[in-house]
Amino acid sequence: MSGPFDIYPAAESLAFAGIAIHSAEPFHHRLSSFIEIVPRKEELDLAYLPRAENYVSPFMFTHYLLGAAADGRYYQVGRKINTVEDACSSITLAYQSLCIYHCCPYVMGPVYGFRKGQVPLVLQVPETSGTNWEHQDPVFRSPPPPFFPWHSRHTFDAGLNHFFGEVSRTYAELRERRWMIAASRFTSALNGCSLYAAIVDLAVSVEALLPLKGDQVGFQARLYLALLVGSNYQERKQIEDDMREFYKLRSAVVHGSLPEPEEKVLKLLERIALYVSRALKKTCGRRIESEILTELDYIRLVGTPCYSREKVMFKMKPQDLAAVIAKANDIERYDSCRAFLSEPDEEGYRDLMIELKLGNKTIGTFEPDLYIMHAPQLQNVSRWEYWVSQDADGDLTLIVTY
């Protein structure tokens, strides 16, 4: 009978978990030198499904989140992250990165570890504490994930890989514990089993990420999140209004008044999750208090970012962004690039995208905001702002100021 090591003969140990990814077709994507997303295969199913069915229905899985290593790292219960390499081989961090990057829940089964000639180990099982499946009240018994929609249009590309790398470095180097706590609670909110738990987890994520002090926590939360995530007045006003309504929900929950899972409430939670996802992506790898909060406080008190005093501005054309992206992803060769705006999301926001091609083959499509920090002009610069400009001919340019 064939097994996982027939597919990965060079590996000494393997770990994998079933994961539900709503894509049009099965696909393969490598996240790091250890981790990859693979479609279901018979060799993996035979080893995984009989064990996983004790925890969750295996029929919902479409792919496996799999790690392969030439050493025994995947055959250790309670393995700790001590280096960036350890983090880049973590299936749970890869799962967390997927949820944050796409702002989307992913149902994942238990993680099993395998080693040649050894009995498989259970490395992690799905969390079920606090759920009440038999309860008649829909607030308590909603099946996961009830609030945040799956999407089939999410991209699995080098931008995702870059973000996973930043998450790995954040955990390995303990760069910012605030960010780590916020990321954990956000992932819990997306994949939770009840409305009240999702509301509390999102509130904890916001308050862990942004150092809110003293009284008026709700006011500070909506102000700082609007300044951090919104790019213009309209966006910031929408975020502030949504956060005001969200904190009414949060207050009701912590005082024992549970809201009904109405459409209006669920749509509000979707928008809040999107704002927090953007905040996590924007702050990953940076010092929250010394870098992020200092700039937000300046905007709050003066009404303008501090870069306006310094008058330093430069433009990045598509070819400039392509060069930075290629260098960050070790892409040695490409012969053309294209800048375009993504399709509007649920809130009407559109992101600048850069496509790299070699001949007629697309190497990848990337979000420049994940790579701006690598621009030569921003080395040794801790704070900057940017926006997209489009001229009369439709050409796109990124304008950066610091």
pLDDT digits (tens, 9 = 90+) for 100-134: 998 888 888 899 999 998 999 988 876 544 444 44
Domain of residue 332, residue span: 308-401
Calculate mean pLDDT across residues 339-346: 81
CA neighbours within 13 Å on the CB side: how many for 102?
26
Calculate mean pLDDT across residues 253-261: 77
Query: Quick one: tokens of 357?
Result: 């091609």
Asked whether residue 29 carries a pLDDT value surpassing 90, the answer given is yes
Higher pLDDT, residue 252 or 292: 252
The tally of domains found in the chain comes to 3
**201 and 277 share a domain?**
yes
Residue 135 lies in a domain: no
User: Which of residues 303, 337, 362 is at a domain's end?
Assistant: 303
Q: Are strands 336-341 and 352-358 parallel, antiparallel or unpaired?
A: antiparallel
User: Which of residues 274, 303, 332 is at a domain's end?
Assistant: 303
- Quick one: CA dihedral 321, 323, 327, 330, positive or negative? positive
Query: Quick one: tokens of 266?
Result: 């669920």
**201 and 237 share a domain?**
yes
Higher pLDDT, residue 86 or 305: 86
Q: pLDDT digits over 161-219, tens only?
A: 889 999 999 988 877 888 999 999 999 888 876 788 889 999 999 999 987 776 677 78
Q: What is the pLDDT of residue 135?
A: 44
Residue 142 lies in a domain: no
Q: What is the pLDDT of residue 351?
A: 82
**329 and 240 share a domain?**
no
Asked whether residue 75 carries a pLDDT value surpassing 90, the answer given is yes
- Top mean-pLDDT range of 186-200, 342-356, 370-384: 186-200
**124 and 62 share a domain?**
yes
**232 and 317 share a domain?**
no
Residue 157 lies in a domain: no
Sheet holding 121-124, edge to edge: 29-30, 35-39, 63-69, 13-19, 111-115, 121-124
**94 and 17 share a domain?**
yes
Query: Quick one: tokens of 321?
Result: 């962004």
User: Which of residues 128, 155, 188 is at a domain's end?
Assistant: 128
Q: What is the pLDDT of residue 309?
A: 44
Asked whether residue 306 carries a pLDDT value surpassing 50, the answer given is no
Name 371's Cβ contacts closer than 8 Å, sequence gap at least 6.
162, 321, 324, 325, 328
Asked whether residue 93 carries a pLDDT value surpassing 70, the answer given is yes
Residue 241 lies in a domain: yes
349 with 141: CB under 8 angstroms?
Answer: no
Q: pLDDT digits over 126-147, tens only?
A: 654 444 444 445 555 444 444 5
Calculate mean pLDDT across residues 352-359: 92
Q: What is the pLDDT of residue 147?
A: 55
SS3 34: coil
Residue 98 lies in a domain: yes
Q: Which amino acid is at 97?
A: S
**337 and 355 share a domain?**
yes
pTM for the model: 0.73
**62 and 100 share a domain?**
yes
* Choice among 78-92, 218-232, 236-250 with the minimum mean pLDDT: 218-232
Q: What is the pLDDT of residue 111?
A: 92
Q: What is the pLDDT of residue 151?
A: 56
Provide the mean pLDDT of the chain: 83
**279 and 364 share a domain?**
no
**292 and 334 share a domain?**
no
Query: Quick one: tokens of 252?
Result: 């009701």
Calculate mean pLDDT across residues 54-73: 86
Residue 310: pLDDT band (50, 70, 90) is very low
**332 and 376 share a domain?**
yes
Residue 108 lies in a domain: yes
* Helix (H) or strand (E) segment spanning residue 218: helix 217-229
Query: Quick one: tokens of 83?
Result: 């280096």
Residue 219 lies in a domain: yes
**Of the candidates 111, 123, 93, which has an alpha carbon nearest to the alpha carbon of residue 56?**
111
Q: Which amino acid is at 209?
A: L
Residue 245 lies in a domain: yes
Q: What is the DSSP letter of 310?
A: H
Q: What is the pLDDT of residue 308?
A: 41
- Whether residue 9 has a cis bond before it, omega within 30° of 0: no
**117 and 229 share a domain?**
no
